[in-house]
């Protein structure tokens, strides 16, 4: 059962797989707000007949493509109607957070496998990281000011080549950032759970020893998921030890960093700048300093989105469908103990 808005051509691609019966009724789903939107327009509701039809489809589904409603509570509301459900392919890389928010019973967690879209968004997030890193290192704000007043100031620009970046979390997003960093001639320190060598890093340190890597880094890119283990791992003491030219990048989760301490460092120019796609809370309050600090490159948690996102998720799903049918391990299984 396809439980999220999806283009007809991609539905047909799933339907073309052997031994797969697809249930998809677009009128029972909200209209997408933009290409590859998985939640749809606000205020959507099925009428009584539509809800009955929806629940009947859930009752027959063994597999869901997409988390119904794209939220944890809506997932929880759907599961009592889906006794045959064995697997949910989520459309978010951070699907563990949705599963956690659903507060499911141990029985549901035991009978249903959840898989995320991890790996689908790595390229987009890496591009955003370097969009921001270049804008800050080249001082795009200063260039905009020069142009606005028709000036002709000269100043030495910063450069990426020969600088060092610490990439915290060497999963698919971290690897994508590391590959692009190497293309710019940067030295890459991978920060991972252990110091085991990473193919896309020049050297690797364990997360427990990350402080030494941060002290050497000109840029720090965080890609970690939001879990109990990662909450606040970038704290005030860590930030205080960074170099003045450090640019901090967060394309993981806002809960990983002490946002107040980060803002203080940016305000005082203790660090050079930040490239942020994620925050605590989201959406940001209207009075947050993040809106106005000039040394922040900002995205409202939209940097991973792409018009090609659905295509990439369906490609992953089709691969997983083949594994599911063959009884083979699925890609991107969510750890329902740590929820990532």
Q: Which residues belong to the active site?
A: 253, 282, 301
At residue 314, the 3 state secondary structure works out as helix
Quote the CA–CA distance of 277 and 297 in Å, as a whole number. Answer: 9
Quote the CA–CA distance of 250 and 270 in Å, as a whole number. Answer: 17
The answer to whether 311 touches 326, Cβ cutoff 8 Å, is no
Quote the CA–CA distance of 146 and 263 in Å, as a whole number. Answer: 26
Residue carrying the six token digits 């929806």: 54
Quote the CA–CA distance of 58 and 29 in Å, as a whole number. Answer: 13
Q: Report which of 222, 217, 167 is spatially closest to residue 190, judged by C-alpha positions.
A: 167
Quote the CA–CA distance of 133 and 127 in Å, as a whole number. Answer: 10
């Amino acid at each position: 059962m396809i439980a999220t808005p999806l283009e007809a051509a991609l539905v047909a691609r799933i339907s073309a797989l052997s031994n797969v019966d697809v249930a998809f009724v677009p009128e029972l789903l909200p209209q997408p707000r933009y290409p590859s939107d998985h939640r749809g327009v606000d205020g959507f509701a099925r009428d009584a007949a539509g809800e009955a039809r929806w629940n009947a489809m859930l009752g027959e589904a063994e597999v869901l493509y997409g988390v119904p409603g794209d939220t944890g509570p809506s997932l929880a509301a759907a599961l009592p109607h889906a006794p045959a459900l064995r697997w949910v392919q989520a459309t978010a890389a951070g699907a563990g957070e949705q599963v956690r928010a659903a507060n499911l019973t141990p029985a549901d967690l035991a009978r249903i496998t959840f898989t995320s879209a991890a790996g689908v968004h790595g390229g987009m997030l890496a591009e955003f990281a370097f969009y921001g890193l270049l804008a800050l290192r080249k001082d795009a704000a200063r260039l905009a000011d020069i142009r606005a007043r028709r000036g002709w100031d000269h100043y030495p620009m910063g450069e990426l080549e020969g600088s060092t970046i610490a990439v915290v979390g060497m999963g698919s997003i971290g690897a994508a950032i590391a590959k692009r960093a190497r293309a710019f001639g940067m030295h890459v320190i991978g920060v991972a759970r252990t110091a085991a060598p990473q193919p896309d890093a020049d050297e690797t340190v364990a997360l427990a020893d990350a402080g030494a890597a941060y002290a050497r880094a000109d840029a720090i890119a965080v890609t970690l998921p939001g879990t109990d283990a990662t909450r606040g791992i970038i704290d005030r003491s860590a930030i205080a030890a960074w170099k003045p030219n450090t640019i901090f990048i967060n394309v993981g989760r806002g809960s990983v960093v002490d946002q107040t301490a980060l803002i203080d460092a940016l305000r005082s120019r203790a660090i050079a700048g930040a490239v942020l796609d994620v925050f605590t809370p989201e959406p940001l309050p209207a009075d947050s300093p993040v809106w106005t600090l000039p040394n922040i490159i900002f995205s409202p948690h939209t940097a991973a989105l792409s018009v090609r996102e659905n295509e990439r998720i369906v490609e992953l799903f089709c691969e997983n469908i083949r594994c599911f049918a063959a009884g083979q391990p699925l890609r991107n299984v969510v750890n329902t103990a740590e929820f990532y």
